[in-house]
Amino acid sequence: MSSKIETILQSLTLEEKISLLAGKDFWETVPIPNKGVPAIKTSDGPNGARGEVFTGGTRAACFPAAVCSAATWDPANAKRIGHALADEAKTKSARVILAPTMCNHRHPLGGRNFESFSEDPYLTGKLAANVVKGLQENGIAATIKHFVANEQETDRLQVDEIVSERALRDIYMKPFEIAIKEANPLAVMTSYNKINGTHADSHQFLLKQVLRGEWGWDGLVMSDWGGVNSVADSLNAGLDLEMPGPTRWRSVDVVMEAVKKGEVTEATITERARNVLNLIEKVGGFNNPEIPPERSIVDPKHSKLIRDVAGQGITLLKNDGVLPLKKEDVKGKKIGLFGLAKEALIHGGGSASLNAHYRVTSEEGLKSAYGNDVEFKFAKGASTYRLIPPLSKGCKDRQGNDGWTIELFKEGQTDKPIKTTNGIKEAVFSPLLEQSEQSARNTEVKFTTTFVPTESGSHYLGCSGTGPTVVRINGNFVHEQTQNSPDPMGFLFGGNPEKEFRVQFTEGESYRIDIHSKPPVSANDSDRGILSGLPGFRLGLMYEREHDVDMAVEAKQIAKDCDMAIVFTGHTPDWETEGQDQFSFSLPRDGSQDKLVETVASVNPKTIVVNSTGVAVALPWLSKVSALVQAWFPGQEAGNAIADILSGTVNPSGRLPISWPKRIEDAPAYGNFPGDRTKDGQLTVKYDEGVFVGYRHYDRLGADKIHFPFGFGLSYTTFAISNTHVSQTCPGTFKASATLKNTGPVSGATVLQLYVGRKQRSSEHPVKTLAAFRKVLVEKGQEANVDMEVGFKDFAYFDEGAKKWAVEQGQYDFSFGQSAGQVEGVVTVYVEGMMRSKL
């Protein structure tokens, strides 16, 4: 216990202690200068320290998304990223990074799966722990999130996750437990959702009994942004810090009243304040309270790290011999590039997005790799936009200048504006991105322009708002949205679905367009989160010829004329983002990407697909292409890392951190995602699959239900496992060893994976569970002897009846393989078993 902290606590009034328990603003804590308490700054996020502005802010390094990092299966990479993230945080004057995200991949349609590591809690926990170590070794606090069961975005502020205690402990809490015990993160962020009827921020079982009790952790618990749902309950459960500020729940008057009523004790307030002060001290806030302006610094070491880790995470899933495209083999050839080749799919949408220092597209990476030795041809070939581009061209505001006129009105009082601004560039209003955020709260907004089209005919318009929104043209009603946005934060991140409609325009004529948008309407103000009371909308326009064109026609001709074709598919940040779950298991938009692959492959037998998503997607064309590369979201060096793999400069060693089903109907949570609504409108999702998530589920269904198993990945060489051996070194601890031989033509790395399961199978338990892994580099023709240690904690299960962790007595198979579907050696061991309260 710090004497400095105790001295400060004794000097603080109760009111001052209460003031510390919520943020000052969106990113900083509350300072008390006359008592020597400074503010400290936080920053997103999981794949880069973005800084304080959501869009277009200070440039920052964009690291590979967590799922790409996980595909390296190398905790050392996670630690290196942690070190670099800490350096980046310092350039943004942040002392706390809101990362890593470590929720389980429960379902392929999970909107933030890309931001988390894996479907497997052991793999996730080991990688997350090393990110935490890397951050905190360099003086930046890690915030592991979101605790717990935040596996979907649909109605995430209120959804009730019904989860058994065994599934909670075995699957969803396990990564957090590993990270807490192995890395001691300084902060934990609670999730938005309810768990078994209680919001996470007020969950006594999670925060008091387990986190601070059984696990003995003593750091700071903060809410997700807008994720507080009570006053006394959250304080008593152990939520130290409400974010962001200014407070919505913890005003001094309200908390003082709760103290007077006996709902919260002064001792509880003191303990919450102590945890805030402890965090400030541990990150050096007292020693150096300054929060200087943000900086953008391109560090070549970070650029190299990003390229290296991305190259190790990119996963080769199919190769009929067309890869690698060695420079000497393709010299003088024509290579067709299609789809998203000119876009750098470096991250998903939402709080993991940022304004990257730079973005290397796949086209740029390939041209850099091959120079003038190869002739590249390009055709987009598919419509991939999620939202029609905002209307901006041909618009004049009320003063006759380019743009729109915006008016803000007090809610319900639209006769006289409280603020008018002209020259707004486009038909978008996102109040959290405006300097006037607070002045926009509880207002209605009107946008007005005079639009002169450059073409006659039918035009497509698309509109969406955070709340009820109406569009009129020349005074005539053309569109109305009566419902709230399904997730206002999703609207902020640009991914909410919009309603498209068609309007006839005549070239050269003038049309007055008026948009009127209101804040979200809700009986319960808290269910809108930090966007409660804030209006927002967007209006897009696209000419019919652009909207309805068959883009695959041009692609087909180019593909026919080329020696080989590379189709780049994937999700832009609008399609895979925080705030919403995946629209479909199929690639967007409306089948256009799948059609493009089919079209190109029909005329070019050497068709390679490079897919950039954070999730598994449908692959209806898999049998028709020669190669498939899963690039994930590899960060700002994306194009260079992809070119490294395609050219053979880097031998692929990525391995899937997820299972890849053939059909969404075969996913473990199918039918229980995103849940069902009760009569009162409450969305409830039952985790009826229990512990049978990912490969645990597919092990019971059979290999024909998946395209690729968990842990799978190809190389430009081959490997064989032999000499498998397991011995018990002491009670509850085992030493496993094997020989790994490179049997192919080039040096490379693979992942030796060790799974443990009961020899006598049971419907109550998985066939096998990942219990250890090692990534190993082996020179061609050489062998490596690999040792791994396994403990009871790595394959125990939680016995709900006994309320204890258990390993039952009996025979266990220790299975050695290069994926969950490729077991190459099994050693059966008799285990005495154990049962204990803590691991």
Q: Which residues are known to be catalytic?
A: 224
Tell me how many degrees the CA angle 785-787-791 measures, rounded to the nearest 5.
165
Strand partners, 837: none
The C-alpha atoms of residue 817 and residue 203 are separated, in whole angstroms, by 40
**Tokens 């192919």 found at:** 744
The C-alpha atoms of residue 428 and residue 413 are separated, in whole angstroms, by 22
State which amino acid sits at residue 461: L
The C-alpha atoms of residue 261 and residue 255 are separated, in whole angstroms, by 10
**CA-wise closest residue to 489 among 355, 352, 350, 348:** 350
The C-alpha atoms of residue 514 and residue 46 are separated, in whole angstroms, by 39
The C-alpha atoms of residue 306 and residue 303 are separated, in whole angstroms, by 5
The C-alpha atoms of residue 95 and residue 713 are separated, in whole angstroms, by 37
Q: Are 40 and 337 in contact (CB under 8 A)?
A: no
Q: Are 126 and 75 in contact (CB under 8 A)?
A: yes
Q: How far apart are the first and last CA of the chain?
A: 26
CA distances from 49 to 30, 94, 118, 285, 533 (A): 21, 8, 22, 18, 28
The C-alpha atoms of residue 620 and residue 333 are separated, in whole angstroms, by 29
**Tokens 């302006």 found at:** 293
Tell the burial category of 261 from Cβ atoms under 10 Å away from its Cβ (0-12, 13-18, 19+). Answer: exposed
The C-alpha atoms of residue 807 and residue 101 are separated, in whole angstroms, by 29
Cβ-Cβ contacts under 8 Å for 7 (sequence gap 6 or more): none
Q: Would you say the C-alpha torsion 122, 127, 133, 136 has a positive or negative sign?
A: negative
The C-alpha atoms of residue 537 and residue 491 are separated, in whole angstroms, by 8
Strand partners, 450: 396, 512
The C-alpha atoms of residue 322 and residue 324 are separated, in whole angstroms, by 6
Cβ-Cβ contacts under 8 Å for 40 (sequence gap 6 or more): 28, 29, 95, 96, 279, 280, 283, 285, 291
Q: Are 108 and 698 in contact (CB under 8 A)?
A: no
Strand partners, 836: 805
* Residue 157: both structure tokens together: 């502020």
Q: Are 283 and 84 in contact (CB under 8 A)?
A: no
The C-alpha atoms of residue 265 and residue 270 are separated, in whole angstroms, by 9
Neighbours of 838 (CB within 10 A): 11
CA distances from 355 to 224, 351, 430 (A): 22, 11, 17
**CA-wise closest residue to 394 among 450, 476, 473, 448:** 450
- Rounded to the nearest 5 percent, the helix, strand and coil shares of the chain are 25, 30, 45
